[in-house]
Amino acid sequence: MEIDQWRREYLRGGLRRADLKEGPVEQFRQWLGEAVEADLTDPSSMCLSTADASGQPSQRIVLLKGFDERGFVFYTNLNSHKARDIAANAKVSLLFPWQSLERQVIVYGHAVPVEREEALAYFRTRPRDSQLAAWASQQSEPLPDRAQLQRQFESVRSRYGEDEIPLPDFWGGYRVIPDAVEFWQGGASRLHDRFIYRAADGGQWKVERLSP
């Protein structure tokens, strides 16, 4: 495997300042829409990076479940590894790797809990088995085998029967409030186009082109 020789050119097109929307949310909305139109697999998937109190970083793929001018929302077990990291260090980043479009979006910011009512409203939209799974899994805790997880799931299923499943008190969401958002478009000869929106006073955004 000559992995050092694996490479390809990025030839799908460039990104110019004149192409950019006024704010990063509008630009993200346009690119997400184009990712959906291109029939990408899981276009709302993103890599969430956190760091614990010691500075040790970690990453995992989560799904974006909402975004607007306030930020980018995802949901999780509030006792999970990611949630413990956020409790110790709220600074996070998100990466959307739309590789077949030769695009990346990186969000830099800090995570804050969403309101309980907002988490409940989303929880109610999840498939019933996903609601049960939220109760069954003690996310990030050691597990002896898959059979134990299945027993926990069946126990929860039996407990609630056909009743409405309540929102667990250990389950909720976070909103990542952006301080900066970078849009990356691959370019030929590694001359990629990179623009970053940085939060400025008065709710405005400053846009800069970055060297590739």
Listed in sequence order, the residues at least 6 apart from 40 whose beta carbon sits closer than 8 Å to its beta carbon are: 98, 100, 101
Residue 126 labeled ligand binder: yes
Residue 192 labeled ligand binder: yes
Residue 16 labeled ligand binder: no
The pair of three-digit structure tokens given for residue 128, joined into one six-digit string: 């019933």
Give CA torsion, residues 186, 15, 74, 35, to 10 deg.
Answer: -80
Residue 191 labeled ligand binder: yes
Residue 80 labeled ligand binder: no
Assess contact for 144 and 131: CB atoms under 8 A: no
The active-site residue out of 12, 190, 198, 209 is 190
Residue 101 labeled ligand binder: no
The pair of three-digit structure tokens given for residue 113, joined into one six-digit string: 């809990």
The residue to which tokens 């976070």 are assigned: 174
Residue 184 labeled ligand binder: yes
The pair of three-digit structure tokens given for residue 178, joined into one six-digit string: 């952006």
Assess contact for 174 and 113: CB atoms under 8 A: yes
What type of residue is 181?
Answer: V
Residue 122 labeled ligand binder: yes
Residue 75 labeled ligand binder: yes
Quick check: is 70 catalytic?
A: no
Of 113, 114, 115, 116, the closest CA to residue 167 belongs to: 116
Q: How far apart (Å, rounded) are the C-alpha atoms in residues 193 and 115?
A: 37
Residue 160 labeled ligand binder: no
The pair of three-digit structure tokens given for residue 150, joined into one six-digit string: 């299945």
Residue 36 labeled ligand binder: no
Residue 60 labeled ligand binder: yes
The end-to-end CA distance of the chain, in Å, is 28
Residues involved in catalysis? 190
Annotated binding site for FMN: 60-65, 75-76, 82, 104, 139-140, 184, 194
Annotated binding site for substrate: 65, 122, 126, 130, 190-192
Residues annotated in a binding site:
60-65, 75-76, 82, 104, 122, 126, 130, 139-140, 184, 190-192, 194
